[in-house]
Amino acid sequence: MALFVITPSYQMQSQVLVVPSSEDQSGVSQSAEVQANLQMINTYKALIKSPKVLSQVSKDLDGKYSVNQLSEMIQPSTEENSQVINITATTDSPEEAARITNATAKEFVKTTPKIMRNNNIQLLNEAYVKSNEKPIFPKPTLFAAVGLLGGLFVGVSLLILKTLFSNKITREEDFEVLDMPILGLVGKISKYN
């Protein structure tokens, strides 16, 4: 039931690469430049979510989303010691998530040289929608498991409550507690006789 009520969420991801500059930097080793690029990753992640980038992304998407909405939908991330920045967008449509993440990645690649005065960002991968794209939420197996456990808990609880609060006399001992005479007993009849 919950699967039909909850709006599904989809995630798409683009990737940009922070590459060493092609210019010769007189005596600066390539490993030192890679280390400097790694240290810039947090700056680049903040730049991705900056109003400067997201306002242009909003325009590219025909003003469908505000800067604040885009900021909530977009999540930049990196692997440890990696020069690849993943730009992930989460929405209720896989096509829209792909549009948002691709527009953000392209705008980031375009805007970074103007702000940082270097041109070391390249678009690595664009997001694309597969024909059988599955939502990241809700997970049918999770909801089925929770529903099964919840149903089992409710069923057992009702059974226990019914047994505890039952006022039916079903055993010989129930008469003894009431100190009432037993008029007769019905014996158990076997099915196989």
Q: What is the pLDDT of residues 41-74, one digit of tens each?
A: 888 999 999 999 999 999 999 999 999 999 999 9
Terminal CA-to-CA distance of the chain, rounded, Å?
Answer: 48
Q: Which residue has the higher pLDDT, 147 or 6?
A: 147
Give the pLDDT score at 3: 53
**Whole-number Å distance between alpha carbons of 83 and 124:** 11
Give the pLDDT score at 153: 95
Confidence at 136, pLDDT banded by 50, 70, 90: confident
Is pLDDT at 24 greater than 60 in this prediction?
no
**Whole-number Å distance between alpha carbons of 93 and 63:** 17
Is pLDDT at 82 greater than 80 in this prediction?
yes
51-55, 143-147, 149-153, range with the lowest pLDDT: 143-147
* Residue 147: alpha-carbon gap to chain centroid: 20
Coil vs helix vs strand at 101: helix
**Whole-number Å distance between alpha carbons of 77 and 95:** 21
Confidence at 144, pLDDT banded by 50, 70, 90: confident
Please report, rounded to a whole number, the percentage of residues in the chain having pLDDT higher than 90.
49
Residue 18 tokens read as 């922070």
7-125 has CATH 3.40.50.2300 classification: no
Give the pLDDT score at 154: 94
Give the pLDDT score at 83: 87
Is pLDDT at 76 greater than 70 in this prediction?
yes
Residue 166 tokens read as 């039952």
Among left, alpha and beta (phi > 0; psi -120 to 50; other), residue 44 is alpha
Please report, rounded to a whole number, the percentage of residues in the chain having pLDDT higher than 70.
90
Q: Which residue has the higher pLDDT, 183 or 27?
A: 183
Q: Please name the residue that has the structure tokens 């885009």.
A: 70
Give the pLDDT score at 30: 72
